[in-house]
Each structure stands twice: as structure tokens, then as C-alpha cells.
């Protein structure tokens, strides 16, 4: 049996490109899981200043790697994610490990069970290397709302990595793991992927079971995947998806296949919203490069057309009314009685205990949303806000159905700007909310969306193109993304 020390001596540098290549290297004894984990632990250590991780399972990950290496040396047939090193957003439950949601209110809490997503990773022999920092309860767009501090963008540490899954994005961006999981309620996988120059997939609502994902807004929440290439994302999606008896909203598709698809040569029919590309909040450099791509696609013979979308101005208000309403109800469970943080201050009565515990345990943004959600659900305002927002959501779903009866895909920028500076939007929550204008549509309608790193801005930062397809059609989404990345990745700025 080959000992880890043998690999370390002969392969000083571990390098990762794709899961498939890594696994063939494992089979040929060109590398080992132990070497991979040692490599990532060293990367995590070298990138501590980015604050991407809330906890690193160094010993445990190494032990598991050694066990997997031992199994292979005994002739074991590797499973789909054998030795794949993955990080989890700190809102996904991993049995007997801390889960904090980047909140003080969950201080000291350990998961009692595995999220279905985690169970599926483990069953396919993945190695979980740690948990990633995020905005508290996944509420935010910059990772500035974490009880564990900001996460920094590895490409420019004066800039945010995006949020709420900022730590998971940076973990992949800075080469601290092969892939990571995040959650996307209104853009929290796609927008940080866009800001960090990597791929971020939000699958259809229900594609990956939400069992064991800490709830923010249950009719929007979806676990998503960060990675470096579409094949890795497809493989992870295949492992993670499928019906689940613990989540009645999980899609009933037993064993969907997303891997091993060749790029079909076809003429895509692609729509874009006129109002989105003309929106005044959209950075000019982004607008120009997206239009340039549209021209390139047209010249290649694809059908690419402008579609009216007069509901664009309503998507952000609708999203914030509905998600805060759901959050106010979901977060009522954090009462300090059953688990988590408890006030240490003097208390008068039970109400006072709740008030102090929740005021001290929740951060400012979470409190703002709980109050907003409670307000829109209150009897005097329910019809004016909550019911109205539900009606708009219905209109958006109808609009989506019309679009996808004529087109294979819808494209949009992922975000109106590239990664902004730390502190730039923090004092203005409305400005921060408005920047979600292009991502919330997919969550309001349940369709899958992906951000692919096609572009580089004249300010030096990367940005992505967001691609969406009809609900449950991740196959087309991944095919088209693969095609676009192969043909157009990192097109240089046309106009500087």
C-alpha cells in the first residue's frame, strides 16, 4: 500500500482542474486524497485573512482522506465524489458539527442530523473540509452581515465577495476546495459567483432537498453549487438532486442525469429583457459587453431577441415583502429557550427574556427583516402588501411560462455592478436591496439560474452572464453554459 508520505515526496504541487481529472489521477496513483486535503488545508491557512471559513475540519478531513486512500489500495471501486473536497455554507446541517448561520443566536449549536445534501455528498465519498462564512441567516448581498466578520474578495481585498454565500464563493475562488455549496434565496449563489469570477448555479426550486438547510424564506430557498467548470457542477447536481421523503417540495424526479452530455450543435433561441439591459442602475461597461456578446451570438446564427418585461420594477419589492414575511415566521423559533443564545442580562418576565435574547442574538439586518415581515403580515396591512406581492408573483410565473414556450433560455446580467467596495452600500439597505434586481426573478418563479464568468470589466474585476431556463431544465442550462464558456469566456472589454 502506498503511504501518503510517498505521494508528498513525489508530488510537491497538487493542482486541480476538474473532478474527472483528479479522479483519474487517483486511479493512476498520481495523487492521493491525503495529498489533496493537505494541499487545501495549506491553501486555507494561507488565505485566513479572507475570512472565508467559520470552521475547518482539518483532522477529520485528513482522516477521511486516509481512509479513502486505504480503501482504494484495497481495490474498492470509487463512488461518484470519491475524495472530492467540498466546503459547506454555514447554514447547512452536518451532524454533530456546529452550524451557526453566521449568527450569534445559534452560538454553540450542533446539528442533530445531516441535511439531505450533506448525506448525499458523504454517501458518494466526498470529503467535507469545513464550513463557510456568510451573511447572517443568508440575508445580505455583501457578506458584511456576519457575526464572524466580513469576507474579502480574493481578487481585490478592498472589495466584497458578494453575498450571502460569500465565504463559499471565496473558498472556491481562492482555491481552498474543489467546489462548495451555498444557498440562494434571491441571488446568494449567483451574485457572489459573479463578483468572484467563478460559476454559481441555483437549481430549480425543489431540485435539491431543503431538508437540513436553515430556513430563510422557504418558498424561495434553494441549495446551490459553486465550482470552476460546468462538468463539476453537473456532477454535483446529479448527486445532490432527487426526491426526498423529508422535503415535500423536492422535485419528484428520481434520478436525473446531468453529466456526460456532449455539446449539441444547435441554434439556441434566447431572450433578454429590454428593461433589464436599459436599466439605469446597470453599469455601462457591463451593458456594453453583454450587448457585444448578443451580437456575437446573433452572428453565429442563434436567435436572440428582446422581450418586454414591464414588471421589472416590481421584482425587488415583491421579493422583499414575501421573503421577509416568510423569514419573520421561520425565525420565530429562535427564542433562546430550546437552543442557542440566551440573554445573560436581568429579566423581568418571559417576554422580556425573548426580547433581550433576540435583540442581542440577532444582528441589525436580521432584525430589520423580521420587523418588516411582521409588518407586512399584520392584519391591517396583509392585503396591501402580502396578498399584492403574491399576485405579482403569480404574474411573474405566467410571464415565465410564456417566455419559455418561445425560447430555450433567458439571459441577463447577474448584478448591476461588479464587486463593490467594503462599506460602500452598508449604510443604505435600500441601495443594497435594489442591487438584487436581476437575480430575484429566478427565485420568485422557481426557475434555475446560473452565473458564468464570461467577462472582465475595465476596472479589472470579473463579472458573469446570468442564464436561466424553464423550471427543471438544468440540462439545457448546463449545455448552453458550457457552450458559452467554451466560445466566449473572458472576452476582453470591447470598449475601454
Size of the site for ligand GLN (CB under 6 A): 13
Residue 398 C-alpha from the chain's centroid: 26
* C-alpha closest to that of 154 among 439, 414, 436, 461: 461
Helices then strands, counting H and E runs in the chain, come out as 17, 11
Among 140, 340, 413, 464, binds ligand GLN (CB under 6 A): 140
- Residue among 198 and 235 whose Cβ is closer to ligand GLN: 198
| Of 32, 164, 165, 209, catalytic | 164
Q: Least distance (Å) from ligand GLN to the CB of residue 354? A: 25
DSSP character string of 10-40: H-S----S-HHHHHHHHHTTS--HHHHHHHH
Please check whether residue 408 is in contact with residue 269, taking contact to mean a CB–CB distance below 8 angstroms: yes
Residue 379 is a catalytic residue: no
Among 41, 87, 121, 139, binds ligand GLN (CB under 6 A): 139
Among 161, 166, 167, 186, binds ligand GLN (CB under 6 A): 186
Residue 138 binds to ligand GLN (criterion: CB under 6 A): yes
Residue 89 is a catalytic residue: yes
**Which residue stretch of 33-41, 185-193, 343-351, 352-360 sits at the interface with ligand GLN (rule: CB under 6 A)?**
185-193
Closest-CB residue for ligand GLN? 188
What's the rounded Cα separation, in Å, for the pair 446 and 423? 31
Q: Is 286 helix (H, G, I), strand (E, B) or coil?
A: helix
Q: Least distance (Å) from ligand GLN to the CB of residue 216? A: 6
Q: Within 418-477, which residues bind ligand GLN (CB under 6 A)?
A: 436
Among 32, 185, 229, 318, binds ligand GLN (CB under 6 A): 185
Among 83, 166, 167, 187, binds ligand GLN (CB under 6 A): 187
Among 164, 417, 418, 451, binds ligand GLN (CB under 6 A): 164
CA distances from 306 to 402, 411, 470 (A): 14, 10, 17
Q: Least distance (Å) from ligand GLN to the CB of residue 416? A: 13
| Of 89, 202, 399, 470, catalytic | 89
DSSP character string of 300-355: TT-EEEEE--TTHHHHHHHHHHHHHHHHHHHGGG--SSSSS----S--SSHHHHHH
Q: Is 356 helix (H, G, I), strand (E, B) or coil?
A: helix
What's the rounded Cα separation, in Å, for the pair 282 and 303? 24
Among 184, 232, 326, 479, binds ligand GLN (CB under 6 A): 184
Residue 329 is a catalytic residue: no
Q: Which residues are designated catalytic?
A: 89, 164, 188
- Give residues in contact with ligand GLN (CB under 6 A): 138-141, 164, 183-188, 216, 436
Amino acid at each position: 500500500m502506498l503511504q501518503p508520505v510517498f505521494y508528498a515526496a513525489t508530488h510537491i504541487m497538487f493542482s486541480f482542474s476538474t473532478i474527472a481529472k483528479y479522479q483519474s489521477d487517483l486511479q493512476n496513483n498520481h495523487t492521493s486524497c491525503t495529498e489533496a486535503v493537505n494541499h487545501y488545508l495549506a491553501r486555507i491557512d494561507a488565505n485566513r485573512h479572507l475570512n472565508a471559513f467559520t470552521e475547518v475540519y482539518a483532522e477529520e478531513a485528513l482522516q477521511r482522506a486516509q481512509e479513502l486512500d486505504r480503501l482504494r489500495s484495497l481495490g474498492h471501486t470509487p463512488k461518484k465524489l470519491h475524495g472530492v473536497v467540498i466546503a459547506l455554507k454555514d447554514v447547512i446541517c452536518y451532524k454533530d458539527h456546529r452550524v451557526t448561520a453566521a449568527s450569534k443566536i445559534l452560538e454553540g449549536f450542533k446539528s442533530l442530523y445531516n441535511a439531505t445534501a450533506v448525506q448525499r455528498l458523504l454517501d458518494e465519498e466526498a470529503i467535507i473540509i469545513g464550513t463557510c462564512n456568510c451573511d447572517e441567516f443568508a440575508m445580505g448581498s455583501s457578506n458584511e452581515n456576519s457575526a464572524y466578520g466580513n469576507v474579502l474578495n480574493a481578487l481585490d481585498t478592498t472589495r466584497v465577495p458578494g453575498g450571502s454565500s460569500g465565504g463559499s464563493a471565496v473558498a472556491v475562488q481562492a482555491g481552498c476546495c474543489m467546489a462548495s455549496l451555498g444557498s440562494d434565496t434571491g441571488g446568494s449563489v449567483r451574485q457572489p459567483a459573479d463578483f468572484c469570477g467563478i460559476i454559481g448555479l441555483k437549481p430549480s426550486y425543489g431540485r435539491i432537498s431543503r431538508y437540513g438547510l436553515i430556513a430563510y424564506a422557504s418558498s424561495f430557498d434553494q441549495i446551490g453549487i459553486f465550482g470552476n467548470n460546468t462538468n463539476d457542477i453537473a456532477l454535483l447536481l446529479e448527486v445532490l438532486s432527487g426526491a426526498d421523503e423529508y422535503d415535500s417540495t423536492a422535485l419528484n424526479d428520481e434520478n436525473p442525469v446531468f453529466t456526460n452530455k456532449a455539446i449539441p450543435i444547435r441554434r439556441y433561441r434566447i431572450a433578454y429583457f429590454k428593461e433589464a439591459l436599459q436599466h439605469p442602475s446597470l453599469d455601462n461597461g457591463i451593458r456594453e459587453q453583454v450587448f457585444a456578446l448578443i451580437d456575437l451570438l446573433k452572428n453565429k446564427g442563434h436567435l436572440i431577441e428582446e422581450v418586454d418585461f414591464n414588471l421589472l420594477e416590481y421584482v425587488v419589492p415583491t421579493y422583499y415583502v414575501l421573503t421577509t414575511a416568510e423569514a419573520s415566521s421561520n425565525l420565530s423559533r429562535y427564542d433562546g429557550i430550546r437552543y442557542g443564545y440566551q440573554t445573560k442580562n436581568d429579566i423581568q418576565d418571559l417576554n422580556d427574556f425573548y426580547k433581550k435574547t433576540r435583540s442581542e442574538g440577532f444582528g441589525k439586518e436580521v432584525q430589520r427583516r423580521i420587523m418588516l415581515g411582521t409588518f407586512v403580515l399584520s392584519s391591517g396591512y396583509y392585503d396591501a402588501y402580502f396578498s399584492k406581492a403574491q399576485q405579482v408573483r403569480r404574474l411573474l410565473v405566467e410571464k415565465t411560462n410564456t417566455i419559455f414556450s418561445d425560447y430555450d433560455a433567458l439571459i441577463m446580467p447577474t448584478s448591476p455592478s461588479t464587486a463593490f467596495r467594503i462599506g460602500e452600500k452598508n449604510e443604505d439597505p435600500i441601495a443594497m436591496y435594489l442591487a438584487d434586481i436581476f437575480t430575484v426573478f429566478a427565485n420568485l418563479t422557481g426557475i434555475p439560474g446560473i452565473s458564468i464568468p464570461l467577462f472582465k470589466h475595465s476596472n479589472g474585476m470579473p463579472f458573469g452572464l446570468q442564464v436561466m431556463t424553464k423550471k427543471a431544465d438544468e440540462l439545457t442550462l448546463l449545455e448552453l453554459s458550457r457552450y458559452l464558456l467554451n466560445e466566449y469566456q473572458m472576452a476582453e472589454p470591447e470598449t475601454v
